[in-house]
Amino acid sequence: MRTKLPKPFDEAIIYEDSKLYACLANYPIVKGHTVIIWKKSVSDLHLLSKKDYEYLMDKVDEIRNALLKTLKVKKVYLIYMDEANQVHWHLVPRYNEKGFDVFQHKSSKLTNFSLTKKIKNNLVLKI
């Protein structure tokens, strides 16, 4: 059974192309929590072609680097969970915490979109 991922807020879109989009999470657990979602219906990462997988991971890397620069953090966790049966990554910045403590935060609805432009400004795309 496929769980539909929630539609992102337009103001939260950091990057979009024909294959995927990256946006601030609708319900972030920390400032800068970002999701990267594959547009085509694919239930698991291993079902992507090698070319698509490499493309996705290049974008994950580019967005992560923009988050590191924008937020001035040393770590951004890359989390792949497939409960939604749709390929997507969570990028979760770690702020002066140890290990998995960041996952103890409660999420709240995203209301401030000012970070979107800052991340976009630091996004360096590979050609």
Per-residue pLDDT of the chain (127 residues; tens, 9 = 90+): 445 667 888 999 999 999 999 999 999 999 999 999 999 999 999 999 999 999 999 999 999 999 999 999 999 999 998 788 999 999 999 987 777 778 888 899 999 999 999 999 999 988 6
Alpha-carbon distance of 46 to 6, in angstroms, equals 23
| Strand 13-16 with 20-24, pairing | antiparallel
pLDDT at 31: 95
Strand order through the sheet with 13-16: 13-16, 20-24, 34-38, 88-94, 75-80
Let me know: does 14 contact 22? Beta carbons within 8 Å.
yes
Let me know: does 88 contact 56? Beta carbons within 8 Å.
no
Tokens of 96: 């002066």
Return the CATH superfamily for domain 11-120: HIT-like (3.30.428.10)
